[in-house]
Amino acid sequence: TILFSDVRGFTDYCEAETPENVVSFLNKSLGIVINAVHHHSGDVDKMIGDAVLAYFQGDDAEVRALRAAQEALRDIIQAEHPRGVGIGIYSGDVVVGTIGTTDRMGFTIIGDTVNVASRLCSAAKEGEIVIDLNSYHAAKTETSQLSEKVHVKGKNKEIEVVRIAQFR
């Protein structure tokens, strides 16, 4: 299960702030998401600018990914950060390993599942998790949410998702 988070309005924030403030904000925001991922036994693949790509393995991967996302949003709201995050969660097959050339190799997680999680993250508003319906059901959440179908770039079929919002 892939969790992809991204700061909302980050470019605007960078334009209005000093580089030192941007780095401080980014370290705090990324730190909150990374701590939540680790707290729920996930692994961070990488930070990509203001985004975090993380993955969860095992039978309860969806449960832990959703809990990590909810914790991260709650903690960012409680920290009263000037910008919030949106989070996408999607489950499926991936390849974990090294890619690159003999001059430069990197360990990463790749596949269509990662791409879809990124697209669901893009569909999430600030303070919102967009999770595919299968992952939502696998997480055995006790609350029922209405689902909707969203079209994501690069996919022919719409994906049925649930939006879970955290409010300030």
pLDDT band at 14 (very low <50, low <70, confident <90, very high): confident
User: What whole-number distance in Å separates Cα of residue 40 and Cα of residue 107?
Assistant: 22
User: What whole-number distance in Å separates Cα of residue 160 and Cα of residue 69?
Assistant: 19
In tens, the pLDDT along 129-166 reads 999 999 999 987 766 678 889 888 888 899 999 999 87
pLDDT given for residue 87 in this prediction: 97
The helix (run of H) or strand (run of E) holding residue 3 is strand 2-7
Share of the chain above pLDDT 90, in %: 76
For the chain, the average pLDDT equals 92
pLDDT band at 75 (very low <50, low <70, confident <90, very high): very high
User: What whole-number distance in Å separates Cα of residue 54 and Cα of residue 142?
Assistant: 24
**Residue 60 pLDDT more than 70?**
yes
Which distant-in-sequence residues (6+ apart) come within 8 Å of 109 by Cβ?
2, 45, 53, 55, 94, 95, 96
What's phi and psi for 2, nearest 5 deg? -100, 135
What's phi and psi for 20, nearest 5 deg? -65, -40
User: What whole-number distance in Å separates Cα of residue 107 and Cα of residue 94?
Assistant: 13
Share of the chain above pLDDT 70, in %: 96
Mapped onto helix, strand or coil, the DSSP state of residue 4 is strand
What's the predicted TM-score (pTM) here?
0.92
